[in-house]
Structure 1
Amino acid sequence: MDVMTLHLAVTFAICLGVVLVGSRVRALVRRLRAPKFYATTLLNKSETKLFARLTKATRPGWQICPQVSYGEFVRCENFRRFASVNAKRADFVVCDAGFNVIGVIEYQGSGHWGSTRRSRRDAKGRDKVKRRALSEARIPLLELYDGYTATEIERWMHMLDRKAAGN
């Protein structure tokens, strides 16, 4: 191998090394600059207040489970239909002592509808899918809006209690 070929080979190897090291450095910098995960509360302030009211109105032995994926308590043999609800969350699920789902509470608080026409339309679509799934699964739904009353919750819990008792 002559000197010129050797020089080209060494130059090429150095350039290749610089490119490889450079790309690894860029990947490392991207990873270091990437936003970090952080913990947050499961419920916002209005949901926490509602949770306390629901817990107070709940029959002894029953549980209120917040932020439960619909895919955990609703099934469908058609994958496409199942996928339409699988990742959606119920705000609160009421379960008996055996963790059988007795009812679902969806809280349509001030942030539920978003601030644009599109976000409102999307929320209406999600709500429609949830209502249909719960109706087909024969799971009672209580939708609470801003300004709900303790009486609404108590009536609904009483209805669930009668249903659970078979009356």
Structure 2
Amino acid sequence: MSTPHVVVVMGVAGTGKTTIGPLLAALLGVPYAEADDFHPRANIDKMSAGIPLTDADRLPWLDAIGAWADRRAGLGGVVSCSALKRAYRDRLRAAAPDVVFVHLTGDRALIEDRMSHRQGHFMPTALLDSQFATLEPLQADEAGVDVDVSGAPEAIAERAMAALVALPDPAV
């Protein structure tokens, strides 16, 4: 493939997007961007208070991530973003048509356990149910792969890399 894609590492809170994203970016030799850094302060305040975001809350956040991905078109990059709904992924693709998704998946109990051990993160474990209720997994017509989050972060990143390379139109 002549131009590197931007990879969006997606999934519910606690799947390890912020851990796996930089590891995958290092394997690909491209920059990493943390989706949480694109949230307006009002969104962080809402989530910190245990209030789920609405679709309207998410639009400026998704647009900012999409703009970053578009600026990285042809250069490559990795960005974490929950991208839980198809409509959110469609919005990202509208801004950056060649994005490829790595959907981090896992058992709810494992994810909740990991969330309960995080320190200093604004997303409370109480919002995990709303995350799973909102999640619309990748569809067959979406460029992307599912990667299980069990195991060590390095192994997960390696599985993600292998899955990307195995895509019919490789993302790397």
TM-score, with structure 1 as normaliser: 0.39
* Structure of greater relative contact order (alpha carbons < 8 Å, 6+ residues apart): 2
Larger fraction in helix:
1
TM-score, with structure 2 as normaliser: 0.38
Instruction: Answer with 1 or 2: which has the greater Rg.
Output: 1
